[in-house]
Amino acid sequence: MDSTRQKKIGRLIQKETGEMFQREAKDLLLRAMVSVTVVRVTADLSIARIYLSIFPGEKKDEVYNNIVEKKSHLRYLLGKRVGKQLRVIPDLEFYIDDSLDYIEKIDRLLTE
């Protein structure tokens, strides 16, 4: 169970990284749409696990690899945005959130 502090920091990071992908990190996205679905922060606040939904699906791996390659730059950009609110910027770990793909697959199976 996440503490209130973890949830607050998670929401802050989710909001800011979402805006970063829309404005400052567009070049990484290769014209794909990336949304931050969930951010989970570890109990010691040192790691933020960021789950991304990438559309269209054909570019998913390429966009994900770009984001992971530029992880330190994204952390720097995040630090500039939330530096006044957080003493230490957590290390960022990115994961693909495929829950939408799963829902779509279930929906397709049900309609057949």
Side chain identity at residue 88, one-letter code: V
pLDDT one-digit tens code per residue, 12-27: 999 999 999 988 877 8
Residue type, 82: V
Q: Do residues 55 and 32 lie in contact, with contact meaning Cβ atoms separated by under 8 Å?
A: yes
- 47-76 tens-digit pLDDT: 999 999 888 878 888 999 999 999 999 999
23 compared with 105, residue with greater pLDDT: 23
Q: What fold, for 4-111? A: GMP Synthetase; Chain A, domain 3 (3.30.300)
| Amino acid in position 59 | K
**pTM for the full model?**
0.85
2 close to 41: Cβ distance less than 8 angstroms: yes
Instruction: Give residue-wise pLDDT tens across range 71-104.
Output: 999 999 999 999 899 999 999 999 998 777 777 7
DSSP for residue 72 = H
